[in-house]
Chain A
């Protein structure tokens, strides 16, 4: 299973407040633990690593250049509820968007002759939170002949 999770560096930085005392740090940590059960995202809540998984991840065609077909399912999970979109970066198309959700699942019929890259993107910030790939592989590699040539005759 290919799982590529991109941690949001901005959120990591948010966890390292230089002017917060140890006591207030503990208080914040306790508040964050309590707030973790809330459905609404809190401004100071640390965002866990976003996960975007696709299964299966390899599509096998008989020959290079042939369209490969594969029923795939995406599963994603995010630390906080918000508006997210699953986007096919290779084709620059939006597959599905969710509103105010922290996790989701989407199945579709993949059809392509080349590998595709997908990202989970925050709808408002246009930040890619996680990335996944569907790899198109093949058994036989056929090479197209040159356009017009005489070799012997």
Chain B
């Protein structure tokens, strides 16, 4: 494997590892807040392709360098049919989500959602030879979204129904947008909880794994991470959209005490920019 592919792999591993404890659950609120959606709106029927560049610092599983940078080709899209919807917001690192809109009022909306997350690809590095495979989780649960003027609140609670982790995750995110001429600014604050089952599956090391590898046994508990995001979205034309985003999040000790991490940090930050073509 040449150095280019190694860099791509390391970047992918980093992004996937960040996903576990990042703001990716807020993909839907992130999309709504970016689009300056002020009302209780349905999932849009749209599709877009974009290219982006990003850089940042983050704890890493398979690199001693905490800085990272990369380019990406991503797809955003969603489709709604009689309350049944599909969402794919690539920029948010949140994979495919299928949902059903169960309740609506002027200010509140409740969706039942299911989607695969996290994945096991982060542990394909040779460093993790001998460890059990970390498979993806299929998170099933509810998503409650409130719309109050320029503010959007979203609460979610999900359980892994794949049987891999049997874990539980919950989040509370608040976002607000501001329109300055045709520039659409947004800000979000989030709180994310992962229970011990999820952390132990992905970041823990069992006694059996410790016995056959160099990693020490580790059993993390549940953890809470805080996130913050600011960004701007600008419609260049009817078809092209520019976005720029800055994100920061805390990384709890439950994650950083894991022997699986090579680079340890108590926070992660990222700057990204992209341009998308909307069909």
Contacts of B241 in A (CB 8 A): 62, 139
> B236-254 vs A: 1/0 string, CB under 8 Å?
1111010000000000000
CA distance A132 to B268 in the complex (A): 52
Would A138 and B103 count as touching, CB distance under 8 A? no
Instruction: Give chain A residues whose Cβ lies under 8 Å from the Cβ of B112.
Output: 152
Which one of A22-30, A66-74, A120-128 contacts B? Answer: A66-74
| Shortest CB distance A135–B (Å) | 10
Residue of A nearest to B110 (CB): A153
Q: How far is the CA of A90 from the CA of B102 in the complex (A)?
A: 40
Which residues from chain B contact A152 at a C-beta distance below 8 Å? 100, 102-103, 112
Could you tell me if A148 and B37 are in contact, using CB atoms closer than 8 angstroms?
no
Given A62-B241, A63-B36, A148-B104, are A143 and B182 neighbors across the interface (CB < 8 Å)?
no
Given the contacts A143-B42, A145-B41, A145-B42, A62 and B102 also touching, CB distance less than 8 Å: no
How far does the alpha carbon of A66 sit from the alpha carbon of B278 in the complex, in Å? 18
A147 touches B105 (CB 8 A): yes
List chain A residues, Cβ under 8 A from B103: 149-153
Instruction: Please count how many residues in chain A sit with their CB below 8 Å of the partner chain's CB atoms.
Output: 26
Complexed CA–CA distance, A66 and B105 (Å): 22
Chain A proximity of B30: nearest CB distance (Å): 14
A63 touching B37 in the complex, CB below 8 Å, given contacts A69-B181, A143-B42, A145-B109: yes
Chain B interface size, as a band, is 20 to 34
CA–CA, A146 to B236, complex, Å? 31
| Interface residues of B, Cβ cutoff 8 Å to A | 35-37, 39-42, 44, 46, 83, 100-106, 109-110, 112, 179, 181-182, 184, 233-239, 241, 278
16 new A-B pairs (CB below 8 Å) besides A62-B182, A151-B104? Answer: A60-B237, A68-B182, A69-B181, A138-B238, A139-B235, A139-B239, A142-B35, A142-B37, A142-B44, A145-B42, A145-B104, A148-B106, A150-B102, A151-B83, A151-B102, A153-B103
A-side residues, CB < 8 A to B, are: 59-63, 66-69, 137-153
